[in-house]
Chain A
């Protein structure tokens, strides 16, 4: 099975191509504000290096949040349009889950964190089997630190941000582990593949309503 993996939920583009049970090509690059400029170009180059055609892919795994709102939309739009138009299978993975799966440490708890600014973070706490102890959410760093304090075992914090916190390890996606874990994940209708923001817009918060149907 040939799989395309895309993650643009932070300031990085993480992409990988998987063929016959292994990663054959990948791209990890910090794009910041240029995510919208270079993401597709880099993905195209990755296909060329792997000597694969877009039509030859069987499945797309896309990271659909949480993270940068704009970033999430770039990856999700590419993935759902691709899957819809070429009739490919598609499934989603949360950015925090991908981070937890990529830990290099062998500890009891895995805590992926994405900075959400103003003292808030997107985070979750998973145990060794990747079962959520604290489900993924938008919460204050303070609240997260309290939750961490009460953990009965050792832990690692996986992040690419400057968040001040102990036991940090830098996030570098382990494509093999992520893709092998998610390759058999249930496929979704591309129309129903949407971002998970974990946070309402400011306008919705102010009015106490959601614009979602």
Chain B
């Protein structure tokens, strides 16, 4: 069978990325231009600034990626691009770039949902086994998805308020950890003790999550302790916080696996880079005899390799678009 090369473009938030993936599983080259240092000064991603940097970087990122692979756009079978969800101004830059490449080089244009990208990052680790449950955890998303085959997405549940990564960022800010705070909280939680009383969020039988209550509880706790003149034991608080988050994530996910009688679990998204979360799921899956996959750290945060990987399967299914493809700040995974 002839090899299929997909050129992927991702620009939904603050990373401009391009990648070439062969047959949906083999990464040939990936370039990620991160704006994290730019947005640090503002305590989080500023959408208009992100858009400005995307347009500045886009051709250099495309060029570096092709250069790295020693290939040209004419060697590609299709152009895959994140059309949403994400920051609309940021998405537009990648989208217009992809549409232009598709038009001038006469290549099929494949729209890819950002979440499906995160899921298919796992296909770069090993070929996905179905049926599976996917838990997507990132700065913008917290979702449980059931897949019986490629590109068959059934959303089981999601967050009712804050995404889990958003909750990490806000909690980090309250304890005085610079943006992005997740990695620091993760590291601290290996050094602290679970001594603070915090609620387990949305502790019910649904597949939904809720993190705003936990966030508020941390904020209140910090304020109360400050008022009493007590010092916050930051590492202990990070540990207590992270344990509640993990309890919520694992409980709902393991329930979904059991209810659906599924033996394969995928964890994906930026927060899947969290060491403790990776480890807990690993332990639980070993215990329950579940086949567990999580992307390498470099494929957890936003990248175009996952978009090209997902784009491959979309392309095989004929899911292409004409040049009127638009970006969408929110859209159902389907």
Query: Known: A36-B95, A36-B96, A40-B323. Is A70-B52 also a contact (CB below 8 A)?
Result: no
Q: Determine the distance from Cα of A195 to Cα of B59 in the docked complex, in whole angstroms.
A: 14
Distance of A65 from chain B, by nearest CB (Å): 11
Distance of A183 from chain B, by nearest CB (Å): 21
Indicate if the CB atoms of B92 and A74 lie closer than 8 Å: yes
Q: Which of A36, A80, A190, A197 is B327 in contact with, Cβ under 8 Å?
A: A36
Query: Known: A81-B100, A84-B62. Is A41-B323 also a contact (CB below 8 A)?
Result: yes
A137 at the interface (CB under 8 A from B): no
Q: Determine the distance from Cα of A96 to Cα of B325 in the docked complex, in whole angstroms.
A: 30
Interface secondary structure of A, over-half rule: helix
Q: For B327, what are the chain A residues with a Cβ–Cβ distance below 8 Å? A: 36
- Residues of A in contact (CB 8 Å), total 34
Q: Which of A58-114 contact B (CB under 8 A)?
A: 69-70, 73-74, 76-78, 80-82, 84-86
Indicate if the CB atoms of A77 and B322 lie closer than 8 Å: no
Query: Known: A40-B323, A41-B324, A69-B51. Is A78-B96 also a contact (CB below 8 A)?
Result: yes
Chain A residue at minimum C-beta to C-beta distance from B102: A40
Q: Determine the distance from Cα of A3 to Cα of B244 in the docked complex, in whole angstroms.
A: 61
Kindly supply a per-residue 1/0 record for chain B positions 39-55, scoring 1 wherever the CB is within 8 Å of any chain A CB and 0 otherwise.
00110001011011111
Q: Determine the distance from Cα of A84 to Cα of B60 in the docked complex, in whole angstroms.
A: 9
B residues adjacent to A (C-beta < 8 A):
38, 41-42, 46, 48-49, 51-56, 58-60, 62-63, 73, 89, 92-93, 95-97, 99-101, 103-105, 322-327
Query: Known: A191-B60, A211-B41. Is A201-B101 also a contact (CB below 8 A)?
Result: no
Distance of B42 from chain A, by nearest CB (Å): 5
Q: Determine the distance from Cα of A69 to Cα of B92 in the docked complex, in whole angstroms.
A: 12
A146 at the interface (CB under 8 A from B): no
Chain B residue at minimum C-beta to C-beta distance from A197: B52
Indicate if the CB atoms of A194 and B55 lie closer than 8 Å: yes
A167 at the interface (CB under 8 A from B): no
Distance of B224 from chain A, by nearest CB (Å): 31
Q: Determine the distance from Cα of A44 to Cα of B327 in the docked complex, in whole angstroms.
A: 19
Q: Which of A1-47 contact B (CB under 8 A)?
A: 36-41, 44
Q: Which of A40, A70, A197, A204 is B100 in contact with, Cβ under 8 Å?
A: A40
A-B pairs, 8 with minimum CB distance: A77-B96, A54-B104, A201-B48, A84-B59, A203-B46, A81-B100, A41-B323, A40-B323
Q: Determine the distance from Cα of A203 to Cα of B38 in the docked complex, in whole angstroms.
A: 12
Distance of A140 from chain B, by nearest CB (Å): 21
Q: For B42, what are the chain A residues with a Cβ–Cβ distance below 8 Å? A: 203, 207
Q: Which of B53, B54, B326 is A37 in contact with, Cβ under 8 Å?
A: B326
A55 at the interface (CB under 8 A from B): yes
A202 at the interface (CB under 8 A from B): yes
Indicate if the CB atoms of B51 and A73 lie closer than 8 Å: yes
Chain A residue at minimum C-beta to C-beta distance from B73: A85
